[in-house]
A and B are shown apart, each in its own frame.
Chain A
Amino acid sequence: MKNKKAETLDDALDRISDGDTVLVGGFGLSGIPEKLIDGVCDRGLRNLTVVNNSSGAGRIGVARMLERGCVGKVICSFPWGGASAVFKELYEAGKVDLEIVPQGILAERMRAAGAGLGGVLLPIGLGTEIAEGKAIHTVDGLEYLIEPALPGDIALVKAQKADPRGNLIYRLAARNMNPIMAMAAKYTIVEVDEDVALGTLAPENIMTPGVFVDRYLVTGRYRPETWEGAWS
């Protein structure tokens, strides 16, 4: 059996290169692969296209990758939150590009990539700025925007448990975009609270089958210092 367990952070991240499109899980404070993000920052990667729901808040999540100069472009639904100070500064200085995508379209474009589709027909955004320059396709008299699949070179995913095959369980609402991203990337790296013995996870409860997972790193319930008081 292929050994998917990474022994070190460097070992987990050795496939990421400058310029990659990196899908990063998490929403708010839930399900963010913070240790893997620290590792990306420390490797000094450059010009990544980062896909996430937001541009990070405070110094949480992808905000740290932006702060450390790793990111050339952000694809997200909510770049301009009250706490998105790092992104705002870089964007206004012209140092980072932005593609804003409605949240459901973001999820569906990645789901399409993971499912081997070229794109999806979505009725969202018709008549808005989102539709500008996009092709419209009509089915049964209803209009849809043609939205291309959004595949990643790499996915950085956060899960609660992994077994040696890379089968994953997510905790509570920390699931969010993670299972979709795990399927949408060529190479999926997972940060987990704990690993469990083969056969421990009930097959019917597995949320992401290990076929979608290339590497996992056991970190415990890692929280960077930048989280202090973040939810209040």
Chain B
Amino acid sequence: MTQKSPLSREQIAKRVAAELQDDWLVNLGLGIPTLAVDYVPEGRDVIFHSENGIIGMGPKPGDADVDTDLMSAGKGPVTLIPGASFVHHADSFAVARGGRLDAAILGAYQVAANGDFANWRLPGKHVGGIGGAMDIAYGAQRVFITMSHTGKDGSPKLVETLTYPLTTRNCVTKVFTEIAVVAVTPDGFVLEETAPGYTPDDVVAVTGAPLIVPDEVGEIAA
């Protein structure tokens, strides 16, 4: 039996980036989603939107070219691709709510089997940070979530019903973790791929909701 090889953060980013298609407009959240910029498949022209008003965000510049007026929503320095444009904040969120984003890649604390997700506040804490997540997840045509499959205490993060405060309901398309790719369907979670060395049963064991396992489950190309 192959040794279990959970995906690194970069490998999760690479896997989710493989979903991005030519000519898509895509918004990226903080953390692993931001890494996806570096893994867009060759030959696909993907345009990145940053909610602070950049349409056509390019990769990080060298230190000498950092401009504090050109930062991503993640507060990191970025560049522009040819043909990029700027909008003010209301127009930037019109892009999101108006359905112009082909996809958003976001992090999460929990995803529920009906496509609800939670990412803005931990239970028991007074305050969290919403930022643009509610608007973006509502408006994007597809919401891809990258996260660890379980919490630090081993508790499942794919659940039947959220126990963390809701960000946006019924919006998640697919979840990408270190051990699996899971689609959210009208029937609930469906296992699409597993990481090298993992069986569907391994994934079922750490998933907190029914997981439909089709006859064919692929291996994640890591």
Contact = CB atoms under 8 A, between A and B. Distances in A.
Interface of A: 27-31, 53, 57, 77-81, 91-92, 98, 100-108, 110-111, 122-130, 170-180, 207, 227, 231
B68 A103 contact: no
Contact of B135 (A91, A105, A207): A105
A124 B134 contact: yes
A180 B165 contact: no
29 contacts: A28-B68, A28-B71, A29-B69, A30-B69, A77-B129, A81-B129, A91-B126, A92-B126, A102-B131, A104-B93, A104-B97, A105-B134, A107-B90, A107-B92, A111-B90, A123-B138, A124-B97, A124-B135, A127-B166, A128-B165, A129-B165, A129-B166, A171-B69, A173-B86, A176-B53, A178-B88, A180-B88, A207-B88, A231-B71
Interface in B73-127: 73, 75-77, 86-90, 92-93, 96-97, 116, 121, 126-127
A1 to B, nearest CB: 27
Contacts of A123: 97, 138
Given A80-B128, A231-B68, A128 B52 contact: no
- Secondary structure at the B interface, as helix, strand, loop or mixed, is loop
Contacts of B133: 102
B204 interface: no
B53 A91 contact: no
A222 to B, nearest CB: 12
A129 B68 CA distance: 34
A38 to B, nearest CB: 17
B222 interface: no
Given A79-B129, A105-B134, A111-B90, 4 more contacts: A98-B127, A102-B130, A124-B138, A175-B53
A102 B54 contact: no
B148 interface: no
A29 B71 contact: yes
Given A30-B70, A172-B69, A77 B97 contact: no
A172 B67 contact: yes
Contact of A104 (B66, B70, B135): B135
Contacts of B121: 129
B51 interface: yes
A29 B89 CA distance: 15
A128 B166 contact: yes
Contacts of B146: none
B177 interface: no
Of the candidates B66, B68, B71, B133, the one having the most CB atoms from chain A within 10 angstroms of its own CB is: B68
Nearest to A230: B68
Closest 5 CB pairs of A and B: A104-B135, A104-B93, A107-B89, A172-B69, A103-B132
A231 B69 contact: no
Contacts of B76: 231
Contacts of B88: 107, 175-180, 207
A92 B125 CA distance: 11
Interface in B166-220: 166-169
Contacts of A80: 127-129
Of the candidates A78, A80, A102, the one having the most CB atoms from chain B within 10 angstroms of its own CB is: A102
A111 B92 CA distance: 12
Nearest to B74: A28
A173 B89 contact: no
A128 B167 contact: yes
Contacts of A92: 126
A100 B86 contact: no
Contacts of B68: 28-30, 227, 231
A177 B67 contact: no
